Amino acid sequence: MELQYKQKFKPDLVFIDYIGLMVSKNKTNKDSNSYDNYKKIATEVRALSQEMKIPIVSAYQLNRDGARKGSKTTTEDIADSMGIANICDFMCGVFEDETLMANNELGFTILKTRYSNNNRKQFKMRNEKEYMRLSDLNDFHYKSEMDKLIEEIS
């Protein structure tokens, strides 16, 4: 928010590298557990998103079992705390297997959405690792799976 006031800059989108490294602005009780701490942080991030009217995207680690599941990952597979899954509006798992790797693709599973009934829907995107770029698998003349999802959510 300071950037918006001081430098008249408002981002269209914010990426948080790893929400697990963040600290709540509110004091935490020394006896509180990781669920409460991460839930508090996720609540603050969500409030900022709503206040600024922008999406905030963050990566989060899976536990060992979830990492082995690939496309069958669920919200229960989040490492450290379900507090984040309980607060977020949209959660998407990213996976890769040998076939996807051979085709330079990544798979995505919608783990949670408050905007439609598309939970567990899967889609793929082109993965151009040398350029660190994800792109639509389809021709630009056709609507991508992500475009269709955005339309359904809106």
Q: What is the pLDDT along the chain (154 residues), one digit of tens a residue?
A: 666 667 778 888 888 888 878 888 876 666 677 778 888 888 999 998 999 899 888 887 888 888 888 888 888 888 777 888 888 888 888 888 899 999 999 998 888 888 888 778 888 998 988 888 888 877 444 456 666 777 777 6
Three-class secondary structure assignment of 94-153 = EECCHHHHHCCEEEEEEEEECCCCCCCCEEEEEEEHHHCEEECCCCCCCCCHHHHHHHHH
pTM: 0.70
Q: Pull the structure tokens for residue 129.
A: 């690792």
> Within its chain, how far is the Cα of 80 from the centroid?
16
Q: Where are the domains of the chain?
A: 1-88, 89-154
CA angle 99, 16, 41 (to 5 degrees): 120
Separation of alpha carbons 126 and 141, rounded Å: 16
